[in-house]
Structure 1
């Protein structure tokens, strides 16, 4: 028994050691940026990894001097609107695909899944022509919110979750006279908070990290998003204050980290075989 316990303990220690090394490797770029954000002057571009005392100064320059505060407000507006819109539309689409009967339903769902194979970069030209020339939304929040409200990932996630819910609940609700929206709001949504939380984390981070499309469609500096704002901190002539750049990058990841930390339990449970526990 003692020998078996010793082997089990050594195995657990080895597993924890491997996981600790893996976490350290994954987190090393963030740790490097955090250290450099505390440095200033020539120390930033040097090999020194000593923690400095200039983080607050660098953060103040990035926040006020470079206007990252306004960029973060803009990104927050976009991310919240996209997350809320995608969640609502995904819930409605999944409700239709699971509980409604209509012609070509399987084919339409396959078409929705096919959009997962189409990266945004492939659609940029056509999307720009539609948004700017057709809808005249150029240089507006609508241009960077509306095109991203539809979500094949969210539709698939909610569809698989709804299919795990017993059909007897739908039949009982129908017998009680509940309509589709009542069934959705009073039964499906309360049973889907973990899935909603998981999708919210994904969509918020994705919307927060938008770069290419806002860079193309948004001309007003006052409405630009944080990722484009960060790129403006980098001087093309190589004279960038890299301590300020790193401090700006650290500030930019705080909101997604807060959202993930707040919803990490829902995020974990939402992907546990598609079942809420």
Structure 2
């Protein structure tokens, strides 16, 4: 028996896609047009093929206010920062959840709840003491200072703990009988079982690191550590007519790495789900 397609559901999904895609399409089309036309508000929704060269030109465009740092350099800084934050968050959260879930030590649950309570404190609330600590360690204007304060994650710790608690006690006992130590049990059993969780968290945390604005704005003051998010804002010069075509081109270029990460990790995410079911 064939099932009739749900046209209403498909229409709603299509409408949602159009709502999300339309601003991106306007940005892409605007990047291929002249800055003067954009400043006049004369933006065509049809991209100009002759203007596609703007994306290559935007890669080498430097921000004059910050010493001419090119867009490609900002993209590399953003990629390194996002990758460092994602890997650091996963490593620390997985190890802390492993200790809380499988080891018995004094104040174990107190440590867990102290980690959990930090969810109530957003980055903006603790940004002044965090900046003070980084300054005391002379980590301002360094890549370490850009990434290290953001690698702790209570959310990831909670998610890893919930996954680890589903591991049956028989599997833990079998690993002990085979002579597997704690770290071997962690790497050979826990991490493969958590494949779906790892893939999903990596995508979420990578995008979280990529979109950071406030913390890099405070820490990166010499221009060499400017992220692409900062660079796009700084390209909008309030004292002169902005080159909106280059700003829009840089915005589209800034979308490409997160999109590629999502596409690349999607297959691993599905594979992690199927392996977890086995």
Determine if the TM-score, normalized by the shorter chain, exceeds 0.5.
Answer: yes
CA separation in 2, counterparts of 1:43 and 1:239? 12
Structure 1 residue aligned with 2:92: 89
Structure 2 residue aligned with 1:112: 115
Whether 1:276 and 2:268 are equivalent positions in the alignment is: no
Structure 1 residue aligned with 2:66: none
CA separation in 2, counterparts of 1:242 and 1:182? 54
Give the unaligned 5+ runs of structure 1.
none
Structure 2 residue aligned with 1:241: 243
CA separation in 2, counterparts of 1:177 and 1:115? 37
CA separation in 1, counterparts of 2:30 and 2:45? 7
Instruction: Confirm or deny: 8 A CA contact 2:29 2:44 kept in the other structure.
Output: no
Larger mean Cα displacement after TM superposition, 236-245 or 205-214: 236-245
Deviation of 1:48 (Å): 2.7
Deviations 1:68-117 (A, max 9, x none): 10011111121222211111111101101110112222222122111112
Change (3 A) 1:139 1:110: same
Whether 1:27 and 2:9 are equivalent positions in the alignment is: no
CA separation in 1, counterparts of 2:250 and 2:50? 13
Instruction: Confirm or deny: 8 A CA contact 2:30 2:43 kept in the other structure.
Output: no
Structure 2 residue aligned with 1:74: 77
Deviation of 1:41 (Å): 3.1
What secondary structure is seen at the aligned counterpart in 1 of 2:209? helix
What is the number of residues matched between the two proteins?
Answer: 267
Whether 1:57 and 2:53 are equivalent positions in the alignment is: yes
How does the TM-score come out when normalised to structure 1?
Answer: 0.90
Whether 1:205 and 2:207 are equivalent positions in the alignment is: yes
- Over aligned residue pairs, what C-alpha RMSD do you find? 2.0
CA separation in 2, counterparts of 1:32 and 1:268? 32
Give the unaligned 5+ runs of structure 2.
63-69
How does the TM-score come out when normalised to structure 2?
Answer: 0.89
